[in-house]
Amino acid sequence: MIQGLKNKTTSRRNFLRSAGLTSTALFLGMYLPAGAKTSKVVNLGDDVDEDGIEMNPWVIIDTNGRVTLVSHRAEMGQGVYQSIPQIIAEELEVNLKDVHIKFAQGNGKKYGSQITGGSSTIRGSYKNLLKLSATARVMLIQAAANKWKVPLTECYAEAGNVFHKPSGKKYNYGELVTDASKLHVPDNVKLKERSEYKLIGKPLLRKDAALKTNGTAGFGLDKRVPGMLFACVERNPRLRGKVKSFDDSDARAIPGVKDVFKVTMKVFNTDREGVAVVATSTWAALQGRKALKVFWDDSGFEHINSTDIYQRHEDILKNKDGLVFKEQGDVNSIFSQASDKLDVIYQTPYESHAAMEPLNCVAYYQNDKIEIWGPIQAPDWVQDFISKEFNLPAEKVIVNMTFLGGGFGRKAFLDYPHEATLISKQIGVPVQVVWTREDDIMQGPFRPGMSYRCEGVVNNGKIDAFRMKLAGQNMDNFQSDDRSKPNESSSEGFLKPYFDSIKNISIQDVPFETPVPVMWWRSVYASTNGFAYESFMDELALAAGADPIEFRKQHLNNDRLHKQLDKLIEVSGWKNRKKNEGYGMAITECFESPVAQVVKVSKNPDGGIKVDHVWAVMDCGWYVNPDIIKAQVEGSIIMALGAATIHEITFKDGLPEQHNFYDYHMPRITDIPPIDVFVMDNDADAGGVGEPGLPAFSPALTNAIFDLTGKRIRKLPFSLAEI
């Protein structure tokens, strides 16, 4: 890759060769000049002075007309492998099938943030991608006009060609790239109007679907490197425990086992110890691990139980003030004078990420460099972390992304690449470390279990005062020793316009810690906050004697949200609800996209509750592919259904009690109700898509159950069969 002026030509040639491109190309990149507010498109041709400039994503068109996009973000099922080419092909005026993707290597200086998280890939880069593609198109049209010696206005681009309107002549893009690469890059090219889009906004088939069905998509587990060995690690089941001793005699007797040794990987600001078994195959490594006898020292820290965690939550919520996240109005005065107020506690469980592809990583430690391959959500973070841990310059740490078989935040963590690198350093050859399903589910980090004390006062049909105190592990604290700041995500999931209409609000974070490692889980704290906020909003609506949707509209003075809720009323048949049918709704927001949902339930003839239908309305602003949006919202709802009614991580004596899918159950196809997803159309900037569909489901479900049965569910998970 291009590192700067001095080695630019060589690096550029190497990149073109590795991408399968011809030696001449129109090679465009993006960068943000110092002090500038907008990104600038630059031509990375040999005559461009780019000394000191680190480039962002590139679009390359070679003399064969092949279009290559270097994608700085991972594809883990969320659809960017389709969405980004769809953006490029639209403004570049090429056939979508002619756009190829090459995953970028980790390089934060070159690409900026590469974290595939926070539903940020499209919303964070779509404007630059549009600008980059349109600039390339204009340069190609200019090159053709110059060759024909005609005005630029007489030429247009379509399907990878430039046409001259009066004569009907045309040039293929490949015939123009040499001349185009020598042109000055135009500033402020005109982008298409939304009404002119041919590809964006259309439900086109995903480019990665064929790769993932015919077996040609390369996932982390598929990676092979010459001379590679395989490893599994018997890790301490309690994060902070130590290896007291181990007997490896039986493990070394397993055919194929090459070495056994202790390894210690970083987990946030602490360590996890284990014993690595290295072998000629994953199977041999697994058998060697089973034959190990490891003796642990688990003294010196609390061996917690789930019941104790939630009891401590309740105690501190009732007896302690928290760190103030948001305070407005005079909440305490109103509560002290109120004759009637609501005061309830909501609770949500710890959860495993349980991605279909368990953790794995290939690492090759050499004296002067380290190379890593795997399903990695944050290659720039891995590069930075590994370079510091092993005292190497960042450019000597090469991090290669593969396809990810699901991530949900877990594969943005740094522990498993660190462990693989440590093992490779010990044995001196490349190694692939594979985690079992039990490792993945039991060792975390997990979504934190949370408890919420919700208090409210309603007067004259409106919320007079609202107080929320939350207790649970703060993910920020695993990366910092500062305990003086509240959880920065304390209001995540709660719609911002509520702060304008509810004049008296208090949101506090009551500090709580355990040895359990926690980290981001799909939609982060909105997945837990949303249940408490929107369930309690339903209780406040009931106290006000108001329709739940109209009550929310009354407190959300926002035309865009009103249109979204009106759409929800329309598609769900909200105003035509019948007896013996339970309807519940909720609306939450995370990553700039509000999602409103209605869940319909009924009594199952065999007992319990049946979920009959789910309607979801997403407003993500500018969007690329409605089918991908619908798939992400459907997947989010199914994941939320599991977390609300089927699975949780519980602890006994400091150990997770769940091991694999036999006791950490997943929703089955027979559990899934019909789901209808609707996407709002407006001119707002793009919001996130991969996560915002999750938080609204659980409160909409429990609100529906209350509507049907009068039973208010305030603790997750619960059994639908036992209602």
| Tens-digit pLDDT profile for residues 562-611 | 999 999 999 999 999 998 999 999 999 999 999 999 999 999 998 999 99
Per-residue model confidence as pLDDT tens digits over 47-105: 333 333 344 557 888 888 888 888 889 999 999 999 999 999 999 999 998 888 999 99
Residue 12, classified by CB atoms within 10 Å of its CB into exposed (0-12), middle (13-18) or buried (19+), is: buried
The pLDDT value given to residue 8: 38
Contact indicator for 443, 452 with CB cutoff of 8 Å? no
Q: What is the mean pLDDT of residues 496-516?
A: 96
The pLDDT value given to residue 156: 97
The pLDDT value given to residue 399: 98
Q: What is the mean pLDDT of residues 536-544?
A: 98
Per-residue model confidence as pLDDT tens digits over 643-666: 999 999 999 999 999 999 999 999
CA distance 513 to 483: 10
Q: What is the mean pLDDT of residues 680-694?
A: 96
pLDDT at 33 over 80: no
The pLDDT value given to residue 23: 52
Q: Is 290 left (phi over 0), alpha (psi -120 to 50) or beta?
A: alpha
Q: Hey, CA dihedral for 663, 666, 668, 672, is it positive or negative?
A: positive
The pLDDT value given to residue 477: 73
Contacts of 536 (CB under 8 A, 6+ apart): 342, 344, 346, 452, 454, 456, 468
The pLDDT value given to residue 48: 38
* Residue ranges of domains in the chain, CATH in brackets: 8-206 (3.30.365.10), 224-300+359-434 (3.30.365.10), 306-350+447-722 (3.30.365.10)
Q: Which of 18-27, 336-345, 517-526 has the lowest mean pLDDT?
A: 18-27
Q: What is the mean pLDDT of residues 611-634?
A: 98
The pLDDT value given to residue 405: 96
User: What is the DSSP-derived secondary structure letter of residue 365?
Assistant: E
Q: How far apart are the first and last CA of the chain?
A: 59
Instruction: Check: pTM over 0.85? Answer yes or no.
Output: yes
Per-residue model confidence as pLDDT tens digits over 360-377: 999 999 989 999 999 999
Nearest to 507 by CA among 543, 551, 454, 555: 454
The pLDDT value given to residue 128: 87
pLDDT at 620 over 60: yes
The chain-wide mean pLDDT, for the chain, equals: 92
The pLDDT value given to residue 2: 25
Determine which helix (DSSP H) or strand (DSSP E) holds 466, and give its type and residue range: strand 462-472
* β-pair partners for 100: 68
Per-residue model confidence as pLDDT tens digits over 142-189: 999 999 999 999 999 999 999 999 999 999 999 998 898 889 889 889
Residue 97, Cβ neighbours under 10 Å: how many? 9
pLDDT at 675 over 80: yes
The pLDDT value given to residue 268: 87
Q: Which of 63-67, 282-286, 689-693 has the lowest mean pLDDT?
A: 63-67
Task: Count Cα neighbours of 467 within 13 Å in the Cβ-side half-sphere.
Answer: 23
Q: pLDDT band at 37, cuts 50/70/90? A: low
Q: What percent of the chain lies above the pLDDT cut of 70?
A: 92
Q: pLDDT band at 702, cuts 50/70/90? A: very high
Per-residue model confidence as pLDDT tens digits over 463-494: 999 999 999 999 887 667 778 899 999 999 99
pLDDT at 4 over 90: no
pLDDT at 11 over 80: no
